């Protein structure tokens, strides 16, 4: 009998008992498996306004938006060239056709340590901007790792932009981010920012059925940033950990 039994398999994610143990403790750092699970949950149109385990095709995220799993981002960190990344992931993920790509990442640079690192952050590639928006719940803790990730995905930029890059930091927009009050809730902040932004995207799409939504304007607007600060509080984050655990346990049944 396995010492770490499988609890739930959901789309491309798996949750084991050790992941459940992490969620049950309020002071534990989220690992790749938990983050991947919740991203799969959000992809299916579930959020804290539509919290059920029935797929709702009408509520799924738009086709031009991609939530990358942290394992894919981690894998790409150790691929030698951008060309290799394109060969590996362009066909299954249609990277270059996406308008928005979310990159959850951490500061693990050791390919021999799976699930390593000490801090999660978020990059969002915005095609209409030809830039990456960077969210970090501990000021700019992972800014060097953010530019490292960007170096692997420069092929997403327009050809004219690629030819004029002098410094990768020119491609980084540091976005003001709700700040954590401890050393372990970073993953929950990343998931919460993704979830709230996805909700805003879907709400704006519903209001503007005939006109294509401007992701650039939405993500950079003061109202969006104010909304994130209003919604994502320490209490919200504490509840999010409980909510994710509750979803998994319900799926187990």
- Could you list the active site residues? 119, 136, 186
By residue count, the chain amounts to 253
CA distance 141 to 121: 8
Indicate the Cα dihedral angle 198, 234, 189, 214, nearest 10°: 30
CA distance 222 to 36: 29
Strands 172-174 and 131-135: parallel
Distance CA 33, CA 71 (A): 9
At which residue do the structure tokens 């993920």 appear? Answer: 93
Return the SS3 of 134: strand
First to last CA, the chain: 20
In the chain, the largest separation of any two C-alpha atoms, in whole Å, equals 57
């Amino acid at each position: 009998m396995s010492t770490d039994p499988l609890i739930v398999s959901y789309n491309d994610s798996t949750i084991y008992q050790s992941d459940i143990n992490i969620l049950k403790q309020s002071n534990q750092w989220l690992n790749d498996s938990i983050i991947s699970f919740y991203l799969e949950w959000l992809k299916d149109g579930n959020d804290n306004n539509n919290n059920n385990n029935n797929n709702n095709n009408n509520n799924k995220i738009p086709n031009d938006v991609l939530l990358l799993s942290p394992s894919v981002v981690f894998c790409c960190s150790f691929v030698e060239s951008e060309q290799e990344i394109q060969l590996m992931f362009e066909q299954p993920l249609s990277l270059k056709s996406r308008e928005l790509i979310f990159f959850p990442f951490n500061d693990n640079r050791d390919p021999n340590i799976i699930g390593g690192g000490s801090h999660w952050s978020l990059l969002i590639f915005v095609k209409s901007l030809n830039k990456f928006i960077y969210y970090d719940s501990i000021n700019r803790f992972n800014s060097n790792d953010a530019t490292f990730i960007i170096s692997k995905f420069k092929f997403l930029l327009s050809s004219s932009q690629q030819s004029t890059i002098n410094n990768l930091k020119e491609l980084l927009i540091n976005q003001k981010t709700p700040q954590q009050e401890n050393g372990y809730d970073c993953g929950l902040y990343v998931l919460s920012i993704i979830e709230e932004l996805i909700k805003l995207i879907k709400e704006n799409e519903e209001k503007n059925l005939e006109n294509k939504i401007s992701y650039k304007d939405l993500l950079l607007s003061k109202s969006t940033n104010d909304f994130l600060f209003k919604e994502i509080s320490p209490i919200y984050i504490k509840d999010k950990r409980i909510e994710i655990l509750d979803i998994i346990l319900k799926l187990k049944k």
